[in-house]
Amino acid sequence: MAAIPYGDRELEVSIEGAELLEWNIKRHSRRKSGIEIIKEAIEHPAGTKRLSEMIATSGDNSKIVIVVDDHTRDTPTTDMLDALVDEIGDHITLLVACGTHSPPSAEELSRILGKYARQFEVVVHDCDAPDLVYVGTTTRGTPVKLNRTYVDADIRILTGDITLHYYAGFGGGRKSILPGVASRETIKKNHALLIDERARTANIEDNPVHQDMSEAVAFAPPDFVLNIVADASGEIVAAYAGDLNGVFERGITTAKELFFHKTCLFDAMVVSAGGFPKDRNLYQATKAIQNCYNAVVPGGSLILVAECREGVGDAYFEEWMNRYNSYEAAEEAIRANFVLGGHKAFYMRKVMKHLRLSIVSELEPDLLRGWGIHAYESLDAAIENELKSDFKIGIVRNGLDILLVPGNI
């Protein structure tokens, strides 16, 4: 019996002989609380001075901005802010890194920022704002425009979590800036690089998306970075602070140890995005598919379990799924005219060329069926119709927080 996260609840499932694929909690059991781990990182930064020293040098009237993740992520932002406020005081502006996401509601701001939503000035990034600041153009031709609050700050601090990312390699670090506080034009130009086969999960070695992001951030670098690595249950495993590159490199090492799962190939797989907010919409939940589908044999079956209470989550994603009914058509479209949201259709069609895709969700079944996806309103019905008794079956409870690495890759 396994409990599959679905929105705010769990669905019980029992599949005889199925293998549960999860991170190794014993290998990463911790002796300190999350806040203790964060405070220790802040007090012992690598590659920079302590924040308290920076502020003492820059003066009492310094403009301090802390960039925080938006409502689409499950980052322990309040814990990080607790530790940062203890270190630097409370003359702070919080900048919510929305990228191209819709702005968070007042309720969502309260969820991600807690008491700090009322205590500090909060600026929500708008990628279409008229006062974005041009800071340079990368060698790949990406014109970099960033949020004015960030650019004009005397001390720039990034917070976030280092996780798997399906075309940037890993989240965290530079992603707080691009796409976090960048213009729509900047984000589109950067993300258009994802059609390169090297732009894939867990790869940064020769990844053009990552390299372009890193070059863009160098035009307006942060003074201090605080990133955490959390396991699939949200428990903080590690925190790193200081110089952006050093923080990112150390965080990646920990993330690989935590999230990589070496496995065999399966005939079928049941994959949960990990519950709310990771399955708030299909746009976010599809990341779980990207992390797991390579462990399914060609022509096999994958059942995504994602509530999607907010629907598809992106108008262009929906439009492209309606318009382009094959991987080849989506690839041709994305090469001709890259559109944010359209890239999700490109990835979805790529998966559907490889395997049979089913989704258990609150989405309109006819919408999914129109795309060629098998739609179910219950997990039991999906299992009954999609799985056979002789299948080798895997179950993933937290698809956004695990990368299945089959032996043949």
pLDDT of 32 strictly over 90 = no
Q: In terms of domains, do 64 and 163 share one?
A: yes
Q: Measuring CA to CA, how many Å separate 96 from each of 125, 180, 217, 229?
A: 6, 8, 17, 20
Per-residue confidence (pLDDT) for residue 25, from 0 to 100: 45
Q: Which has the minimum average pLDDT: 193-202, 230-239, 261-270?
A: 230-239
Mean pLDDT for the stretch of residues 181-190: 96
Q: In terms of domains, do 18 and 38 share one?
A: no
Residue 87 included in any domain: yes
Q: Which residues contact 195 (CB under 8 A, 6 or more apart)?
A: 331, 334, 335, 346
Residue 28 included in any domain: no
Which of 230, 258, 286 is the last residue in one of the domains?
Answer: 258
What is the sign of the dihedral through the CA atoms of 367, 315, 161 and 104?
negative
Q: What percent of the chain has a predicted confidence (pLDDT) above 90?
A: 85
Q: In terms of domains, do 186 and 49 share one?
A: yes
pLDDT bracket for residue 94 (50, 70, 90): very high
pLDDT of 306-350, one tens digit each? 999 999 999 999 999 999 999 999 999 998 888 889 999 999 999
Q: What is the mean pLDDT of the chain?
A: 93
Q: In terms of domains, do 138 and 273 share one?
A: no
Q: In terms of domains, do 346 and 198 share one?
A: no
Q: In terms of domains, do 344 and 197 share one?
A: no
Q: In terms of domains, do 251 and 376 share one?
A: no
Look at the chain and report how many structural domains it folds into. Answer: 2
Q: In terms of domains, do 48 and 12 share one?
A: no
pLDDT bracket for residue 24 (50, 70, 90): low
Mean pLDDT for the stretch of residues 357-366: 98
Which of 231, 258, 285 is the last residue in one of the domains?
Answer: 258
CATH of the domain at 53: 3.40.50.11440
Residue 27 included in any domain: no
Distance (Å, whole) CA 268 – CA 126:
41
Q: What percent of the chain has a predicted confidence (pLDDT) above 70?
A: 97
Which of 234, 258, 282 is the last residue in one of the domains?
Answer: 258
Per-residue confidence (pLDDT) for residue 92, from 0 to 100: 95
Residue 182 included in any domain: yes
Residue 198 included in any domain: yes
| H-assigned helices in 120-243 | 148-152, 184-191, 208-217
Cβ neighbours, 10 Å, residue 131: 10
Q: Which structural domain, as residue segments, surrounds residue 351?
A: 2-22+264-406
Distance (Å, whole) CA 44 – CA 156:
18
Q: Which residues contact 177 (CB under 8 A, 6 or more apart)?
A: 67, 97, 146, 150, 158, 213, 216, 217, 220, 222
Q: Are 64 and 92 within 8 A, CB to CB?
A: yes
Q: In terms of domains, do 332 and 190 share one?
A: no
pLDDT of 161 strictly over 90 = yes
Q: In terms of domains, do 44 and 160 share one?
A: yes
Per-residue confidence (pLDDT) for residue 26, from 0 to 100: 43
**Angle CA 171–172–178, to nearest 5:** 85
pLDDT of 267-291, one tens digit each? 999 999 999 999 999 999 999 999 9
CB-side neighbour CA atoms (13 Å) of 86: 13
Per-residue confidence (pLDDT) for residue 211, from 0 to 100: 98
Residue 184 included in any domain: yes
Q: In terms of domains, do 100 and 137 share one?
A: yes
Residue 206 included in any domain: yes
pLDDT of 409 strictly over 90 = no
pLDDT of 60 strictly over 80 = no
Residue 29 included in any domain: no
Q: Are 383 and 4 within 8 A, CB to CB?
A: no
Mean pLDDT for the stretch of residues 235-249: 96
CATH of the domain at 276: 3.90.226.30
98 or 22, greater pLDDT = 98
* Most confident among 60-69, 127-136, 226-235, 393-402 (mean pLDDT): 127-136
Classify 152 as helix, strand or coil.
helix
Per-residue confidence (pLDDT) for residue 387, from 0 to 100: 95
pLDDT of 244-255, one tens digit each? 999 999 999 999
Residue 179: cis peptide before it, omega within 30 degrees of 0: yes
pLDDT of 1 strictly over 70 = yes
pLDDT of 368 strictly over 90 = yes
Distance (Å, whole) CA 27 – CA 23:
9
Q: In terms of domains, do 268 and 249 share one?
A: no
Mean pLDDT for the stretch of residues 73-84: 94
Per-residue confidence (pLDDT) for residue 58, from 0 to 100: 84
Q: Which has the minimum average pLDDT: 24-38, 211-225, 303-317?
A: 24-38
